[in-house]
Amino acid sequence: MTIGVIADSKTRTQTKSMPVKEKSKRISGQQLAGYIFISPWLLGFLLLTLWPIAQSFYLSFTEYSLLEDPVWTGTDNYVNIFTDDATFTKSLSVTFMFVLFSVPLKLFFSLMVAIALNKNIKGMNLYRTAIYFPSLIGGSIAVAALWRNMFGLDGYVNQVLAWFGIEGVGWISNPDTSLGTLILLNTWQFGSTMVIFLAGLKQVPQELYESASVDGAGKVRKFISITLPMLSPVMFFNLVLGIIGSFQTFTSAFIITKGGPINSTYMYAMFLYEKAFKHYQMGYASALAWILLSIVALLTLINFAASRYWVFYESDGGKTK
Amino acid sequence: MNTLRSNLTSHFSLSAFSFIMLYPVIWWVGASLKKAEELSLPTIWPKTPMWENYSNGWHFSADYTFAHFFGNTLLMELGNVLGGVATAAIVAYGFGRLNFKLRGFWFSILLLTMMLPGQVTVVPQYILFNKLGFVDSYVPLVLPHFFGGGAFFIFLLVQFIRSIPRDLDEAATIDGASVYGIFWRVVLPLLKPALVTVGIFTFIWSWDDFFAQVLYLSSVDKFTVGLALRMFIDQFDIQWGQLLAMSLLSILPSVLIFFLAQKHFVEGIATTGLKG
């Protein structure tokens, strides 16, 4: 987000340099054209985003099965969810566990790999491709099928473990390990996060490292004092989007574990999907959606508020720590 | 000497790591040719490759072959990619180059929608498409791509357009070109590499967008490859060899595109996405 804001301020200074008269003439001519050009998005936003948001909010206070008209029930849905729905509590805690582990794991791995890949050696493109490859296919149902087979009771993973004399469990059919298996699958697909880190690393001015070397800084010192602060905006971007994305994990739980065993992988998105499209409780599902939105929005706000203490922007002249 | 040694260490650790990352995929290729009894053995390659896994898997459904499902998916993709690329370019030009009232406001909204969980809109969208009689058709899957192709792509292209020197626009203005002319003759040609990136991502992401497919398509006749695979998985007695063979085939289009346009891919976001 911040990246966009920075770019926006740059363009503004560019337009300022134009003669005032010419600028105002161009702007008036562009009023209509501007709206014509953004109209596809604007239309889509109003029709498929804004209106649905409003309707979803309304529906969350109703009972609605698609067949009959919505019936206003006040805050019943919310009250039921919070006081009388054990599945809600379960799926929320499962999802929190998933986010809590998979987001930091993915960030850590992708940063480490990005640093390893940010070198100028022969064949680097080959390595990048190989390492990116799982992320290319990772979200597909095909990989979910593969995963389900590999982590089955007599699947490949247990056969390898048997070599080492370890007796494996049914990774997917055991409620203690099923969520961990999904977290592992999620971490395996760290490619796009890694690519963004890689792009960030390329923007770090080499002079900083050189002058640090002159001052006698070692590798670790350079990493802590240069790489980490310079990467913090990218880290922030990945963290915010990572949290939002993880809360919506659906396919892997839906295909590999079907939410089980005993709801140990019943992710929130899957719970919501089943409420809406299996039980046709559209009002209840809408309330669930608004709870999800509130949680995600709250976490994002906390993230933004906390960012001023650890995210470093060059344009501030290094005011922040 | 020192750099040579550190390079060798890098090569060694990177090859090892690449191998670990790719190992499940390598195993997958071998497993797709295995008999059921061999599947759980930790060997990579089967004693006698079962090519029948592919031919039997292809015909696993009594009424349709996988050719039908591939055809369906490609048809959907055609609409998605065309709609996404064309409208994303148009919208991005508006945001990236033109000055109009509330531009900053709308752009912030656009960025905000990137953070909106899809669960909030999915129920009313379904209700809407249901009322219009579009459930169990490709319309709910394809139509959204015609509204700018998604916030992320618009953002990507806006960043790219801003890196195109404004002198070009001004020269064209002096030559009498309108904003439409500048879009068509100046910006669009320069935008091509970024549009390829958008097209590729649209293709691969819609191929994997299982949620929308499972939500809107219900008759087998219209199934995409992903839904066909799900039908396969849900069979009582899963033929794992055949299923893995068909799964492998299902990722082939994405993989092909990935390798054909590899440069765009890994470098693509690196250069266009984050030009701060």
Nearest CA to B116 out of A145, A293, A303, A158 is that of A293
Q: Which residues contact B210 (CB under 8 A, 6 or more apart)?
A: A139, A140, A141, A250, A251, A254, A255, B226, B230
Query: How wide is the angle at C-alpha B4 spanned by C-alphas B2 and B5, nearest 5°?
Result: 65
Helices (H) and strands (E) in chain B, counts: 15, 0
Helix (H, G, I), strand (E, B) or coil at A262: coil
E-strand ranges in A108-219 read: none
Structure confidence at residue B37 as a pLDDT band (50, 70, 90): confident
Nearest CA to A1 out of B51, B107, B73, B260 is that of B107
- Chain B residues close to A137, C-beta within 8 Å: 25, 251, 254-255
DSSP A259: T
Q: CB of A298 within 8 Å of any CB in chain B?
A: no
Structural tokens at position A57: 């909010």
CATH architecture of B61-273: Orthogonal Bundle (1.10)
What is each CA distance from A92 to A172, A271, B180, in whole angstroms?
Answer: 20, 9, 50
- Out of B18, B118, B208, name the one closest to residue A139 (CB): B208
Inter-chain residue contact B147 with A127, CB threshold 8 Å: no
Q: Are B261 and B204 in contact (CB under 8 A)?
A: no
Q: For the residues B97-104, what does the mean pLDDT come to?
A: 90
- Out of B110, B127, B178, name the one closest to residue A41 (CB): B110
| CATH code for the part of the protein at A86-316 | 1.10.3720.10
- Chain A residues close to B17, C-beta within 8 Å: 113, 116, 127, 131
Q: What's the CA gap between B43 and B57, in Å, rounded?
A: 22
Nearest CA to B205 out of B234, B226, B222 is that of B226
For A198, the closest chain B residue by CA position comes to B270
What is each CA distance from B48 to B33, B44, B57, B157, in whole angstroms?
Answer: 8, 12, 18, 50
In 10 A of CB B92, how many CB atoms?
Answer: 30
Average confidence score pLDDT of chain A: 83
Helix (H, G, I), strand (E, B) or coil at B164: coil
Q: What's the CA gap between B170 and B187, in Å, rounded?
A: 12
Nearest CA to A41 out of B257, B50, B91, B196 is that of B91
User: What does the pLDDT look like over A96-136, one tens digit per residue?
Assistant: 999 999 999 999 989 998 988 888 788 888 888 888 888 88
Q: Can you tell me the ipTM of this complex?
A: 0.85
- Out of A55, A199, A300, name the one closest to residue B269 (CB): A199
Question: Cβ-count burial of A122 within 10 angstroms (0-12 exposed, 13-18 middle, 19+ buried)?
Answer: exposed
Domain limits, chain A: 21-52, 86-316
User: What does the pLDDT look like over B232-250, one tens digit per residue?
Assistant: 888 767 788 888 888 889 8
Inter-chain residue contact B106 with A31, CB threshold 8 Å: no
Structure confidence at residue A9 as a pLDDT band (50, 70, 90): very low
- Chain B residues close to A240, C-beta within 8 Å: 115
